Amino acid sequence: MTRRSLRVRLILAAAGSVSVALLVAGLSLMTLFERHVERRIGAELLAQVNQLAAATNLGAEGRLQLDPSPTDPRFGDPLSGHYWQIDDETGASPDIGVLRSRSLWDTRILLPPDRLEPGAVHTHVLPGPDGQILLVRERLVLFKDGARAVRLMAAMDRRELTDARDAFVADMLPYLGVVALVLTLASLVQIQTGLAPLERVRRGVAKIRSGAVKRLDENVPDEVLPLVMEMNALLAAREEAVERARAWTADLAHGLKTPLSALAADAARLRTQGNPVVAADLEQLAETMRRRVDRELVRVRVRSGRAAAPVGVEVAAAIGRIVRTLRRIPGAERLQWKVVSPDQVRVGLMPDDLLELLGNLLENAGKWAHSRVEIAVEVKAGEQVEIRISDDGPGVPAEYRDRLGERGVRLDERKDGSGLGLAIVRDVVDAYGGSLGFDAAVDGGLIVWVRLPAASPADPASRSA
């Protein structure tokens, strides 16, 4: 998969969405937890302030006293992070009117000079001893009918809140990892499910190209249906164009038959009149035109679309049919034909195309062979069928073999022909995704090998061909 892949884009988008969602969820949970803990701390501090209010009274000399003192041992540990303090707002001296927990040691929490209503609770965040940041709750209590105003305060180091938050985050991360894994797997399943219709369309196009079906299945989701319908319309238009091209080519071929027959008749007449040279030229011209027409008919058939259903034809039967025909040609009695082919070997071609391919190859081999033509058929890995045709003729130099099969190329003018036979062979091989090659035979002749796709054993057409 590349960066242009839709699957990659969706996976990246899903990964980004899951990451952002988990980040927002994590921050939200952390904030909610922090606020919850802060409220619990505030409730605890308020309870401590109320305990201070219940235990604070004035002594005989008007001094503030606390009876009983808070029993929480943390108030006795110096700089423990838990503190209480009582300020007398109307005392003669600020030092006289201050009571505080032993945990404050020799420090004092400086409360802001805000105006407090009796019974009202104020919340502060103030600096504390040893660089601590304190969460503070305070309230005002009046004594002697409002003549004495006392500020009661309880505080806690905010670091306990941040420590609890950090511990919560540490405990939460593995669960967020599990959620991320589940969401990622769910996203992958969703992407796979969402792209499945496109994969079905791809397989349908592959079946159309192989000739298994003519149209795409329109049983697809609504979002993909317009694409499938457009492709089916395009296929229908292409099929109509192909049929018109076939009809036009067939009409052209039939239209040329009469002139070609006339040329053949003229050649025969000239030969009887004592002009064999001109007759031979006319016959050669007529043969060249006929081969060109044949090639165009083959090209139209194999390049304008494959059959609508799987096809298959037995190789040995096709070879035997062609060899029997070639043996009846005048002068063919000099040749020995040897065929080695397993039974029931079939290739995925239309019968006419295989006959056209083998006919040109065997005719060429018989034309150039001195005394022997050998044909060997072999199945390669169950997916391809290799047909090797060798002759004991003069062969072709290695530097010219790559040009064999080019349109109109003839490397030797000593034999009749137009150079179109191998070009037709190459057209058929290319149309079916096969391959064609040339090698030197041991006795100096030429080996032509062609590899063609094997017909599927499950195809009814291949079993009945």
* Mean pLDDT rounded to a whole number for the chain: 83
Q: Flag whether 184 is in a domain.
A: no
Indicate whether 287 pLDDT > 60: yes
- Nearest-angstrom CA–CA distance, 39 and 48: 14
Q: Which one is predicted more confidently, 325 or 415?
A: 325
Based on the domain organization, do 301 and 339 belong to the same domain?
Answer: no
Partner residues linked to 88 by β-bridges: 150
Helix (H, G, I), strand (E, B) or coil at 426: helix
Helical (H) or strand (E) element with 159: helix 159-210
Residue 108 lies in a domain: yes
pLDDT one-digit tens code per residue, 373-411: 999 999 887 688 999 999 988 888 877 777 776 654 554
Token pair in block for residue 285:
């011209």
Residue 250 has pLDDT above 60, yes or no: yes
The pLDDT tens digits of the residues spanning 298-318 come to 666 665 555 444 467 899 999
The contacts found for 340-344 with CB under 8 angstroms, 24 or more apart, are: 340/374, 340/375, 340/376, 340/377, 341/315, 341/316, 341/375, 341/376, 341/377, 342/316, 342/377, 342/378, 342/379, 343/316, 344/314
In a domain, 353, yes or no: yes
User: Do 131 and 28 lie in a common domain?
Assistant: yes
Query: Ramachandran region of residue 205, left (φ > 0), alpha (ψ -120 to 50) or beta?
Result: alpha
User: Strands 336-340, 372-380: parallel, antiparallel or unpaired by DSSP?
Assistant: parallel
* Confidence check: pLDDT of 97 > 70: no
Q: Is the per-residue pLDDT at 418 higher than 50?
A: no
Spatial distance between the Cα atoms of 184 and 178, rounded to a whole number of angstroms:
10
The total number of structural domains that make up the chain: 3
pLDDT at 389: 93
Q: Which of 122, 137, 163 is the last residue of a domain?
A: 163
Identify whether residues 451 and 399 lie together within a single domain.
yes
How many whole angstroms separate alpha carbon 320 and alpha carbon 48?
Answer: 110
Domain encompassing residue 232: 212-305
d(CA 419, CA 329): 20
Q: What's the rounded Cα separation, in Å, for the pair 376 and 341?
A: 6
Residue 92 and residue 56 share a domain: yes
Helices 351-368 and 421-431 cross at an angle (nearest 10°) of 150
- Which H or E run includes 373? strand 372-380
Mean pLDDT value of segment 157-183: 94
88-102, 342-356, 403-417, 421-435, range with the lowest pLDDT: 403-417
Altogether, the residues listed in the chain come to a count of: 465
Q: How is residue 390 written in tokens?
A: 């060798």
Under 8 Å between Cβ of 454 and 392: no
Instruction: Flag whether pLDDT at 234 surpasses 50.
Output: yes
Same domain, 276 and 323: no
Query: Quick check: 146 pLDDT over 50?
Result: yes
Q: Are residues 336 and 299 in the same domain?
A: no
- Reference 96, options 82, 104, 105, 86; nearest CA is 86
Rg, C-alpha atoms of the chain: 50
- Identify whether 321 is part of a domain: yes
Tokens linked to 320 = 């035997």
DSSP track, 185-201: HHHHHHHHHHHHHHHHH
Q: Are residues 77 and 145 in the same domain?
A: yes
List phi, psi (to 5°) of 292.
-65, -40
Gap between the Cα atoms of 27 and 24, Å rounded: 5
Residue that terminates a domain, selected from 305, 334, 353: 305
Amino acid residing at 6:
L
Q: Which of 305, 338, 371 is the last residue of a domain?
A: 305
Considering Cα of 278, then 279, then 280, then 283, what sign does the dihedral take?
Answer: positive
Asked whether residue 249 falls in the same domain as residue 344, the answer is no
Q: Are residues 156 and 14 in the same domain?
A: yes
pLDDT at 465 over 50: no
Contact call for residues 358 and 318 (beta carbons, < 8 A): yes
Is 345 found in the same domain as 298?
A: no
Q: How many CB atoms lie within 10 A of CB 437?
A: 15
* Residue 121: its H or E element: strand 121-127
In a domain, 123, yes or no: yes
Chain centroid to CA 433: 25
Which conformational region is residue 79 in: left (phi greater than 0), alpha (psi within -120 to 50 degrees), or beta? left
Q: Do 10 and 156 share a domain, yes or no?
A: yes
Chain centroid offset of residue 178 CA: 26
Q: Give the pLDDT score at 16.
A: 92
- What's the rounded mean pLDDT across residues 285-295? 74
CA 434 to chain centre: 28
Residue-level pLDDT at 33: 95
Q: What is the CATH number of the domain that holds 434?
A: 3.30.565.10
CA dihedral 406→412→418→424, nearest 10 degrees, is -40
Is residue 328 assigned to a domain? yes
Phi, psi angle pair for 81, to nearest 5°? 95, 0
User: Is 80:104 a contact under the CB 8 Å cutoff?
Assistant: no
pTM across the whole model: 0.55
Q: What is the share, in percent, of the chain residues with pLDDT greater than 70?
A: 86
